[in-house]
Structure 1
Amino acid sequence: MENILEKLGIELNAETRLTGDSKFSFNCHSALSCFNTCCSNLDIVLTPYDILRMKNRLGLTSAEFISEYTEPVIQKESKLPFLKLRLGQEGKCRFVAAEGCTVYGDRPAACRYYPLGFGIYKNEEAGDDFYFLIKEEHCKGFGEQREWTVGEWRKNQGIDEYDDKNRVWMEVILNKKLYSPELEPDEKSLKMFFMASYDLDAFREFVFESRFLDVFDIEEERLEIIRSDDSELMLFAHQWLLFALFKKPTMNLKES
């Protein structure tokens, strides 16, 4: 987190550290001279729910979306493979047009948060989660008179749904075991993480066309739901990751 704040030129203190009740003035609209500028030369790390929403919006399989619109990035400390949005020519987002975002209703969580940054501590003893403002030189939105609290901005941008859908996955990637110097995930674990995080079609095939159901005791009602509901399948995949990587009691084994 310190490296990210340093890169943004933000010094975290009592003034810059925001809570849900903190107020700020900001508005983004097409009349601003900077409109769409923030959609260039950016690193958007995608969450599983980001990919689910965007691949469904575009009518693509998980594998097709991953191949066409993302590129891999390895998290330095945990060695986990993440995906970020692949930019187009001149570093522009491939989903931005003159009138704005062409996938606005299904845009990633990072785009919804902007101009807010959101900080999570891996160590719970370090403090509570927090927010901070990302003020870029080109952005004219901070000169607008529209006032928000952080909580109002979250509601307006539909952030709560995204955070809720990614909640179990965040529990996976923030697990302290991943950041232990003694632990380095093996290739099998990394492939398992990637599939269950991003490639829902492959994970569904793994559940229904392997020995998975011979090993795990899953209620028939839930099986029927995850056959066709991507959102529920994603939650199931993340619960399975907690079990597979950390032996959390999120799955039941068959007695046999």
Structure 2
Amino acid sequence: MKGLGGRSGSLLRSIVSHGISLEERTVSMTWHENIEDFGEEVKPGSTFRFECHPGLSCFGTCCATDVTLTPYDIARMRRHLGIDTHKFLSAYCLSRVDSRTGFPYVLLKHKEDGSCIFSESQGCNIYESRPSCCRHYPLARVVEKLGQSGNPLSKYHLQRRVAYCQGMDTGPEWTIEAYCEENGLGPYSRANDLFLQIPFAFETLPLGLKKDKDVQTMIYQAVFDFDRFFEKYGRFGPSTPPEDDHEMVAVLTGITLNLIRRTAHLKTIE
């Protein structure tokens, strides 16, 4: 890559020297917190019925689907496990790049039988720190764009295509607000809304930059492997991640948006 100057340039060269491998995949992916197929929209104030418990014959089946992680998910899960992001990503995740948009993303690994790496016979063994898309199920939160205020414009859909699910249309009646509160989604949604500024900003880059492996690696490390990022590149922000996970997402969002802005000034790519 030529023409990369300033602090973002030295950071990019430093990151690239550590050689992160991101496998390119073609995925159908908008920026929502669950990449499963979704069906009808659930309007604000309307209700749906759903329950999930070990007594259902399908219990745990949904855990075999792809689970996409946000930075806040990773922060909570790595803290639960008592490890840093680099160890968490290496042990429990697959790192990919969307071949359409060029943006990196992270999936949870599966066991040999196809189930989630954290799935056990009685459910999730990190349940209290489970990621946002698992908390949302059977809802899918779809974020289409940022509004004039800079806040994401989102809506909710029921994942009607999961025919195996025996909990749909049974059990308690829920509004979106009640279901999200029951599943502790408040801090997740607030942090994820901050993060969503990053892929939207990334989309504004020229195609050549979005597909550039060095740029993708820079974004991956800043967004997902943030413990190591803060440790190695402290001169671009705080040398250690903030203790509060929401504050950490806010800090890494600011750093990454600045890196994207600086990268946008690149004029020449080899």
Question: 1:18-57: per-residue Cα shift (whole Å, max 9, x none)?
Answer: 23322101111121121112112x1111111111111111
Residue 226 of structure 1 contacts residue 233 of structure 1 at CA under 8 Å; is this kept in 2?
A: yes
Alignment partner of 1:21 is 2:45:
yes
Question: 1:207-241: per-residue Cα shift (whole Å, max 9, x none)?
Answer: 43xx437xxxxxxxxx5984655543332111111
Give SS of 2:48's match.
strand
The higher-RCO structure (CA 8 Å, 6+ apart) is 2
Question: 1:142-186: per-residue Cα shift (whole Å, max 9, x none)?
Answer: 242310001111111111211111222101112374475465353
- Of the three residues 122, 125, 142, the one matched with 1:102 is 125
Q: Show the counterpart of 2:98.
A: 75
Residue 47 of structure 2 contacts residue 176 of structure 2 at CA under 8 Å; is this kept in 1?
A: yes
Q: TM-score, normalised by structure 2?
A: 0.74
Give SS of 2:145's match.
coil
Question: 1:74-108: per-residue Cα shift (whole Å, max 9, x none)?
Answer: 12332011110010112101211111111000001
Q: Show the counterpart of 2:230.
A: 204
- Of the three residues 228, 232, 241, the one matched with 2:256 is 241
Cα separation, 1, equivalents of 2:227 and 2:80: 15
Q: Show the counterpart of 1:32.
A: 56
Unmatched segments (≥5 aa) in structure 1: 214-222, 248-256
1:73, CA displacement in angstroms?
Answer: 1.8
1:188, CA displacement in angstroms?
Answer: 3.4
Give SS of 1:35's match.
coil
Cα separation, 1, equivalents of 2:243 and 2:99: 35
Question: 1:107-140: per-residue Cα shift (whole Å, max 9, x none)?
Answer: 0111001000121113759x95211111322111
Which structure features the higher share of helix residues? 1
Residue 123 of structure 1 contacts residue 176 of structure 1 at CA under 8 Å; is this kept in 2?
A: no
Cα separation, 1, equivalents of 2:135 and 2:220: 24
Distance 1:88 1:50, change over 3 A: same
Q: TM-score, normalised by structure 1?
A: 0.78
Cα separation, 2, equivalents of 1:74 and 1:197: 13
**Paired letter, 2:55:** A
Cα separation, 1, equivalents of 2:244 and 2:36: 38
- Of the three residues 155, 178, 197, the one matched with 1:152 is 178
**Paired letter, 2:116:** C
Q: Show the counterpart of 2:220.
A: 194
Alignment partner of 1:133 is 2:158:
yes
Give SS of 1:145's match.
strand
Q: Show the counterpart of 1:217.
A: none
State, as a whole percentage, how many aligned pairs show the same letter. 29
Which structure features the higher share of strand residues? 2
**Paired letter, 2:222:** A
**Paired letter, 2:156:** Y
Residue 144 of structure 2 contacts residue 153 of structure 2 at CA under 8 Å; is this kept in 1?
A: yes
Cα separation, 2, equivalents of 1:224 and 1:73: 27
**Paired letter, 1:239:** G
Unmatched segments (≥5 aa) in structure 2: 1-27, 263-270
Cα separation, 1, equivalents of 2:246 and 2:140: 25
Give SS of 2:168's match.
helix
Q: Show the counterpart of 1:163.
A: 189
Q: CA RMSD in A?
A: 2.9
- Of the three residues 61, 80, 91, the one matched with 2:114 is 91
Count of residues in correspondence between the two structures: 228
